[in-house]
Amino acid sequence: MTNIINKRKIPLREQPSGSELSLKVIEVDGSFEGPHCYIQASVHGAEHQGNAVIYKLLEYLETNPIIGKITILPMANPLALDTKVGTYTFGRFNANTGDNWNRLYFDFTKSSTEISDFAKIHIDEDDKVIGKEYKKLLKKLILNKKAEHTAYGPKYNGLLNLTLQELATDSDYVLDLHTGPIATRYLYVPEYLEKKSDDLYFPHRLIIPNEFGGAMDEATFMPWVNLQAELKKLGRDYEIPFESYTVELGSEEVISLREAEEDLLHILNYLHHRGMIKEAPAAVNTSTHVKCKLSDYKTYYAPRGALYDYQVSPGQHFKKGDVLAIGINFENLFRNEPVKFEVKALADGVLINHYPSSSVQSGAELIQVMENVYV
């Protein structure tokens, strides 16, 4: 049996020229009913590797049947992808407002009377019934928010995010594919999914609080955390059936189809463990993986404006006192100070990413690291 693959476009924005930007939606239905996984890439327009992984996934789905459904959105933010400044893609922020595209999602369930009322009505229902009916409520709340947001015209800042939330609402699992600046592979994992994240096998994992901070993973898992809390108030224990992760796939502005093949193995392994793929994929490298709490994810800010030579590569472990970067500042000649200076590690850790350029202003996010790591 083969999968049924449908394609459609959702209009997003009309440009002054009259040309239209739209979302490309690919829906893959297996021959048997099962879970629904939602996958998107490039909400930050410069973060391309997720699209290489999606291409490899589509190749796989052409000949390998699945159980359930996968909704795929490559290039989920076409405006960001198209915003170029010279050779650089200005894709992380809305060029008009300065807002981070991945901080514009909406939390409409915290302290919501609709959620508390839902919990009271469905407290004695079966878990599957609760999940099914709750998705209907979430879709209704998103559509209401969308109508409010567009009442005076299609305000683009946030409309894209509401549309993506709407598309993800029917799913059981969400994988939001990103990259860092110059980075290794890692995951953002909500606390309640720390153990289940083992099935993704990515080598580095940041364990984030079950809180809303504006990102897609939080926007999709927090409604379920809030429902669990409401049911708990009423004396009902409820295990959250929903999973959402931010998947960081290396560095921005580049793709590697070769590396995408290995990235895909991680995702296929996850889908296998969730019952969507019968046959386990080829072996995935599981030799090393480390975690840390988000509070131990530290940023070194550039102490001086300078040209920096990074001494530690993404994914590399280092010790306290190791030199992480060397800076060169010629203004120091006129201060009778050394032109060269060092940025040293304040504690043991693992380097996750660093600034994408050697030319760095003081105060910029120079290096980000994991400290107090554990397995």
Cα–Cα–Cα angle for 210, 275, 115, rounded to 5 degrees: 35
Alpha helices for the chain (secondary structure H): 49-61, 78-82, 113-122, 127-149, 156-168, 216-233, 257-273
Output DSSP code: residue 171.
-
Please report how many Cα atoms fall inside a 13 Å half-sphere around the Cα of residue 134, on the Cβ side.
33
pTM of the model as a whole: 0.96
Q: Return the pLDDT at 282.
A: 78
The band of 164, judged by pLDDT with boundaries at 50, 70 and 90, is very high
- Mean pLDDT, to the nearest integer, of 162-183? 98
The band of 146, judged by pLDDT with boundaries at 50, 70 and 90, is very high
Dump pLDDT digits (tens) for 215-259. Answer: 999 999 999 999 999 999 999 999 999 999 999 999 999 999 999
How many Å is the maximal CA-CA distance in the chain?
A: 75
Considering the chain, what percentage of its residues have pLDDT values greater than 70?
Answer: 99
Contacts of 260 (CB under 8 A, 6+ apart): 49, 52, 53, 55, 56
And the tokens for 103? 């901080």
Considering the chain, what percentage of its residues have pLDDT values greater than 90?
Answer: 91
Q: Return the pLDDT at 44.
A: 98
The band of 310, judged by pLDDT with boundaries at 50, 70 and 90, is very high
Residue 86 CB burial class (10 angstroms; 0-12, 13-18, ≥19): exposed
Measured distance CA(247)–CA(272) in Å, rounded: 17
Please check whether residue 216 is in contact with residue 246, taking contact to mean a CB–CB distance below 8 angstroms: yes
Domains (range + CATH), the chain: 4-288 (3.40.630.10), 299-369 (2.40.50.100)
